[in-house]
């Protein structure tokens, strides 16, 4: 196969103009040609593509919700177990402190304050168990609620969301078509050049095809016929053989 060097000049100009107009979806003449031929069918397929994409988003959100719900539930259980263990430790410490306070007069005088603190701490935990759990798990619960609300919105307003997204895609597609139509002459020329390159590529690898070949002369070459100076020569396609 012919070794190709460089890019077709018309294609480079085409990409430059397309980029200036915000069109970046095309990477080759073939893709542009395919777009022109399949524009109407692509437009008809947009609702199906949008719905399929939204269904995938919904499935991903459902998976994310299940995952986040599990994380929240596990954290809630772990937090409850930690608090219950702390309450049990306080109960044990409180019981031991009460028993020690009854052993002698000194303990009866100074231990009541300690007993009161332990008792208050235990009561605070028991009476505010739900509040403490809520505080420790609030962030994870908020994450679950956020995903759930988004999932519910997608399911309840599916048709409306599809309609909005279709409108955006139609607008973008029509804008691309308008730009492409305005470049018809340049595109046609690029397609023609591309066909030539494709044919030349069928030669063996003994050949080199140089696209947009440019030679600069320094100093310039004098052109007697036109009575001017030639600074450079540009050739669209230059085919060279390495056979001698």
Name residues whose C-beta falls within 8 Å of residue 137's C-beta, 6 or more positions apart in sequence. Answer: 72, 75, 76, 79
pTM for this prediction = 0.65
Both tokens of 64, joined, read 């994310």
Three-state DSSP class for 224? coil
Q: What is the pLDDT of residue 241?
A: 62
User: What are the mean pLDDT values of the chain's consecutive 10-residue runs (244 residues total)?
Assistant: 59 80 84 90 95 97 97 96 94 87 72 87 93 95 97 97 96 92 78 66 65 61 63 52 58
- Are 10 and 189 in contact by the 8 Å Cβ rule? The answer is yes
| Helix (H), strand (E) at residue 141 | helix 129-156
Q: What is the pLDDT of residue 54?
A: 97
Three-state DSSP class for 210? strand
- Are 208 and 239 in contact by the 8 Å Cβ rule? The answer is yes
Count the neighbouring beta carbons within 10 Å of the beta carbon of residue 90.
Answer: 19
Q: What is the pLDDT of residue 238?
A: 47
- Are 177 and 217 in contact by the 8 Å Cβ rule? The answer is no
Is the previous residue joined to 17 through a cis bond, with omega within 30 degrees of 0?
no
Both tokens of 223, joined, read 């052109």
Name residues whose C-beta falls within 8 Å of residue 22's C-beta, 6 or more positions apart in sequence. Answer: 175
- Cα–Cα–Cα angle for 141, 147, 153, rounded to 5 degrees: 130
Q: Give the length of the chain.
A: 244
Q: What is the pLDDT of residue 195?
A: 66
């Amino acid at each position: 196969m012919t070794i190709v060097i460089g890019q077709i000049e018309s294609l480079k100009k085409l990409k430059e103009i397309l980029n200036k107009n915000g069109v970046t979806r095309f990477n080759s003449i073939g893709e542009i040609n395919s777009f022109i031929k399949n524009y109407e069918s692509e437009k008809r397929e947009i609702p199906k593509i949008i719905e399929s994409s939204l269904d995938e988003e919904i499935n991903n959100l459902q998976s994310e919700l299940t995952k986040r719900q599990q994380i929240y539930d596990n954290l809630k259980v772990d937090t409850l177990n930690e608090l219950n263990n702390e309450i049990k430790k306080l109960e044990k410490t409180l019981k031991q402190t009460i028993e020690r306070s009854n052993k002698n007069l000194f303990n009866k005088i100074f231990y009541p304050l300690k007993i009161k603190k332990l008792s208050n701490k235990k009561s605070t935990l028991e009476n505010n168990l739900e509040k403490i759990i809520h505080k420790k798990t609030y962030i994870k619960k908020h994450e679950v609620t956020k995903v759930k609300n988004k999932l519910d919105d997608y399911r309840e307003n599916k048709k409306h969301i599809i309609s909005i997204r279709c409108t955006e895609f139609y607008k973008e597609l029509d804008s691309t078509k308008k730009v492409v139509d305005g470049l018809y002459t340049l595109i046609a020329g690029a397609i023609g050049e591309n066909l030539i390159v494709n044919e030349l590529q069928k030669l063996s690898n003994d050949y080199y095809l140089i696209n947009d070949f440019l030679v600069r002369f320094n100093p310039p070459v004098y052109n007697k016929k036109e009575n001017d100076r030639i600074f450079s020569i540009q050739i669209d396609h230059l085919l060279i053989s390495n056979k001698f």
